[in-house]
């Protein structure tokens, strides 16, 4: 991996993962070498932050396109008007993202990279937490690693925070996705073993609901241990970029009725591959909407 210290000014901020990248204007005409260095930083630190950015919706998408990957809109909810693939995470519309998840894990090739910009911040609260799913896997006792390597889970958007629970049931039920993923995927670039967890999991394959709940409780406890997590207190102009394969995240819902809006862009990903080489399987696709719509 590239020696990032020669290319970027990077300040690690967490004991296990996370870093702040300084001296980069994401809205400028960045060269491919700089984008490559940022990507390497994301792979190494899993979640990186840029302060003092002056992006709008247009420049956020322009920066995302520099990565050379397809921009992926929310599979079931329209993008922000006037944009190709920006999702408006607006707390006033139910978009509180207050459960652990990896973005769009209910589809097969869920996004590889997420770019999130703080558009409107509450006067207090509204931090975001990330968890390192590779570190969480490594922290499992060997017997639990062996078990996790064999387990598959059904992910569904039936309870997608993005539209609000009631709003989803009323408006998005025809756009139901279900995908069976391995509980442990192998990162296609780094080769790291990663737990694939989060609130989109409906059940573990081959287990009843009770056993699924108990087993998920064990694995989620490892994922969300303080040692495996990072907390970011947002300031105006902050942009976060993270490896959506290698992390889970959630927003802290502690700001009541105060406004909180984030603008999210996601980049295309690859279908997960399990430890034994099997690929994730789509079980249900919506009847009236294709994933590319």
Per-residue pLDDT at 92: 86
Residue 110 backbone zone (phi > 0: left; psi -120 to 50: alpha; other: beta): beta
Per-residue pLDDT at 109: 97
Confidence of residue 2 (pLDDT cuts 50, 70, 90): very low
pLDDT tens per residue across span 236-272: 999 999 999 999 999 999 999 999 999 999 999 999 9
The yes-or-no verdict on residue 5 having pLDDT over 50 is no
Q: What is the pTM of this model?
A: 0.92
260 vs 3, which has greater pLDDT?
A: 260
Using a pLDDT cut of 70, give the percent of the chain over it.
90
Residue ranges of domains in the chain, CATH in brackets: 70-284 (3.60.130.10)
Per-residue pLDDT at 154: 97
Q: Worst-scoring range by mean pLDDT, 6-15, 109-118, 215-224?
A: 6-15
Contact between 55 and 240 under an 8 Å Cβ cutoff? The reply is no
pLDDT tens per residue across span 141-190: 999 999 999 999 999 988 655 545 455 455 455 588 999 999 999 999 99
d(CA 264, CA 217) in angstroms, rounded, equals: 29
pLDDT tens per residue across span 225-235: 999 999 999 99
284 vs 240, which has greater pLDDT?
A: 240
Confidence of residue 224 (pLDDT cuts 50, 70, 90): very high
Instruction: Tell me the backbone φ, ψ of residue 25, rounded to 5 degrees.
Output: -100, 105
Per-residue pLDDT at 161: 56
The mean per-residue pLDDT over the stretch 131-138 comes to 98
Per-residue pLDDT at 76: 84
3-class SS of residue 137: helix
Per-residue pLDDT at 160: 56
Q: Worst-scoring range by mean pLDDT, 58-67, 131-140, 174-183, 243-252?
A: 174-183
The yes-or-no verdict on residue 52 having pLDDT over 70 is yes
Per-residue pLDDT at 133: 98
Contact between 104 and 268 under an 8 Å Cβ cutoff? The reply is no
The mean per-residue pLDDT over the stretch 210-218 comes to 96
Confidence of residue 287 (pLDDT cuts 50, 70, 90): low
162 vs 65, which has greater pLDDT?
A: 65
Per-residue pLDDT at 8: 93
Per-residue pLDDT at 174: 59
Q: What is the mean pLDDT of the chain?
A: 91
Contact between 163 and 82 under an 8 Å Cβ cutoff? The reply is no
CA-nearest of 218, 199, 101 to 151 is 218
CB-based burial label for 29 (10 Å; 0-12, 13-18, 19+): exposed
């Amino acid at each position: 991996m590239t020696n990032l210290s020669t290319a970027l000014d990077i300040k690690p901020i967490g004991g296990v993962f996370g870093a702040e990248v300084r001296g980069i204007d994401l809205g400028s005409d960045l060269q491919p070498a700089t984008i490559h260095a940022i990507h390497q930083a994301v792979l190494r630190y899993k979640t990186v932050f840029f302060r003092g950015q002056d992006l709008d919706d247009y420049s956020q998408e322009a920066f995302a396109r520099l990565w050379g990957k397809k921009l992926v809109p929310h599979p079931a909810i329209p993008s922000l008007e006037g944009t190709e693939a920006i999702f408006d995470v607006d707390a006033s519309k139910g978009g509180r993202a207050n459960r652990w998840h990896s973005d769009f894990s209910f589809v097969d090739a869920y996004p590889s990279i997420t770019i999130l910009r703080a558009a409107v911040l509450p006067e207090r609260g509204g931090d975001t937490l990330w968890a390192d799913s590779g570190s969480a896997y490594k922290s499992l006792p060997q017997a639990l690693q062996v078990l996790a390597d064999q387990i598959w889970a059904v992910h569904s958007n039936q309870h997608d925070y993005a539209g609000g629970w009631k709003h989803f049931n009323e408006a998005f039920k025809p756009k139901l996705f279900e995908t069976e993923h391995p509980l442990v995927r192998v990162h296609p670039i780094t080769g790291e073993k990663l737990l694939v967890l989060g609130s989109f999991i409906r059940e573990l394959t081959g287990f009843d609901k009770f056993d699924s709940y108990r087993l998920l409780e064990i694995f989620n406890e490892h994922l969300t241990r303080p040692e495996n997590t990072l907390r970011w207190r947002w300031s105006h102009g902050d942009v976060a970029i993270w490896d959506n394969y290698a992390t889970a995240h959630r927003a802290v819902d502690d700001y009541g009725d105060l406004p909180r809006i984030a603008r999210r862009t996601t980049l295309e990903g690859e279908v997960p591959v399990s430890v034994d080489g099997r690929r994730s399987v789509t079980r249900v696709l919506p009847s009236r909407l294709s994933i590319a719509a």
